Structure 1
Amino acid sequence: MPHNAQGSGTDRDDRAALRADCANCSGLCCVALTLTRSADFAVDKEAGQPCRNLQEDFRCGIHTELRTRGFPGCTVYDCFGAGQKVSGEIFDGRDWRGDRATARQMFQVFPVVRQLHELLWYLTETLSLAPAKPLHDEARSLLDETERLSRLPADACAELDVAAHRETVAELLHRVSARVRATAPRPKNGRKRDRRGADLIGARLRGADLRGADLRGAYLIAADLSGADLRLADLIGADFRDADVSGADLTDSLFLTQAQLNAARGDAATRLPSALRRPAHWDR
């Protein structure tokens, strides 16, 4: 079967609403989340405390200098569009700065909706995968339910058991992955395909044939994946921090996110899925 397993399903892969729109968000990721001083963040910040770089208009005062000023973690984070939904829809544009009770509730709801939007990203992708067509009805049903949950009133959303719903979606995604990866050619080098959760930190995988590999949750921190073929590989939850994907082929990889790409190092020769964008810092 050809590698182009995506984009040939019955549903158009349209995830525009699942991309962050910071201009229509009240800076929730800059307030609601905890920051821990590390290589990713220059300061410690408690949840509910505004970042020192957040301006009155909810924009970041050092947005173009985040990586050089000690905040590369901010360039990696992706809310999957949860910020604008919580700010503009669930809370109808209310400002968290005006009321402590509203602020507390917004900061509880935001991470819940963010998790649900991440699931929407994966479920939408599933509907574009032709080999998973027998599972499309189930995926549509879960997508509709996930969308419904993401639009619950604030009180109900804050109390939602999102972990249980995530487990249900994860079980379906596992079956989807198995169907799609089964269409990949067998690797000539005999490399083990099941590397789920594997410790591949700093691994030398330059030019490796990883087509159809299960790399779910794998630790690929600082791994050399330059020139590797990752088509049809399941990359859900894989840690790509500082991984070198220069010249790698990620075109038909499964469940890859913008955050993972932002955490990696690539170049103009890196081939990406059509739904994702080449990170700006790759050109620097």
Structure 2
Amino acid sequence: MREQTVDPDGLRGDCANCFGLCCVALPFARSADFAIDKDAGRPCPNLGEDHRCGIHTRLRQKGFTGCTVYDCFGAGQKVSQVTFGGRDWRTADREHARRVVEVFPVVRQLHELLWYLTEALALPAAAPLHPKVRRALEKTDRLSRQTPGELVALDVAAHRRDVNALLLKAGELARAGIPGRKKQRRNADLMGARLKGADLRGADLRGAYLIAADLTGADLRGADLIGADLRDADLTDADLTGAFFVTQPQLDAARGSAGTRLPGSLTRPAHWTAGR
């Protein structure tokens, strides 16, 4: 069986090769995360002619925290350079611009699945599933390279369900090897929960609502965090070593410290400070 065909670097946003698609295609509403309302297809007023954000270094101060925790998983450059062959939506006709708005969210979902599938291949305990994971990875990659018309017609929700079932099994195999009694908190409402120092080794936290939860010093080693909402969760000095299906946007939305231990594939958010 041949190895994965997806370059991990292609699953990270590359703004230099993207036409600012997240700033155009996606809508947002005035809230704690965004300072203004913006409809899908309307360029953000902060987007420059060079497709760069004019307030990139001041997004949090200007009320655009939501932008700082967003990651397209490389979909931006894929749609810009592959799907539309480097054709800039600014200089194209209206139909082209409309297609870009429709296609980008679809490819973004597919690239997020590619990220998770790539991580599933790195889980030794999930080795019995690796052949199926590779096939799913290759299929998802093929789907992401379809024509604009094919992408718009794709039932991406159905594909996500198929992939999620596989990821669930991979996560169960990975957690089975973690010693001790493992907590089952899938989709649990843990908003604002006091979990300081909690033993969450190997816990199933898929889709859990951990908004503003106190996870200071919590042991999250080997926990499944796919889809967990970590907005404003306090991960100060928490141990996420070996936690899987964690994404950079999840960490960027949380709070942490220099003492927070992270999975090796992720980076410490710039807004985390020592002793926070």
Shift of 1:223: 0.4
CA distance in 1, matches of 2:61, 2:106: 31
| 1:182 corresponds to 2:172 | no
Q: 2:149 aligns with which of 141, 151, 155?
A: 155
CA distance in 2, matches of 1:12, 1:242: 35
Whether the 8 Å contact between 1:224 and 1:245 is mirrored in structure 2 is yes
| 1:246 corresponds to 2:236 | yes
Per the alignment, residue 3 of structure 1 pairs with none
Shift of 1:275: 1.1
The residue identity in structure 2 corresponding to 1:205 is: L
Shift of 1:13: 10
Unaligned runs of 5+ in 2: none
Per the alignment, residue 39 of structure 1 pairs with 32
| 1:130 corresponds to 2:120 | no
Q: Residue 128 of structure 2: SS of its match in structure 1?
A: helix
Q: Deviations over 1:162-199 (max 9, x none)?
A: 00000000000111111111111114xxxx61100111
Per the alignment, residue 257 of structure 1 pairs with 247
Shift of 1:123: 0.4
| 1:59 corresponds to 2:52 | yes
Aligned residues: 271
CA distance in 2, matches of 1:197, 1:246: 23
| 1:104 corresponds to 2:94 | no
Unaligned runs of 5+ in 1: 1-9
CA distance in 1, matches of 2:108, 2:77: 10
CA distance in 2, matches of 1:23, 1:273: 27
CA distance in 2, matches of 1:76, 1:111: 16
Shift of 1:11: 7.4
Q: How does 1:1-284 map to 2 (within 5 A)?
A: 15-98=8-91, 99-187=93-181, 193-283=183-273
CA distance in 2, matches of 1:131, 1:124: 14
Whether the 8 Å contact between 1:184 and 1:212 is mirrored in structure 2 is yes
Output the aligned Cα RMSD: 1.5
Q: Deviations over 1:197-248 (max 9, x none)?
A: 1110111111111011110110000001111111111101000000000111
Whether the 8 Å contact between 1:13 and 1:127 is mirrored in structure 2 is no
Shift of 1:158: 1.3
Structure 1 residue runs of 4+, over 3 Å off?
10-14
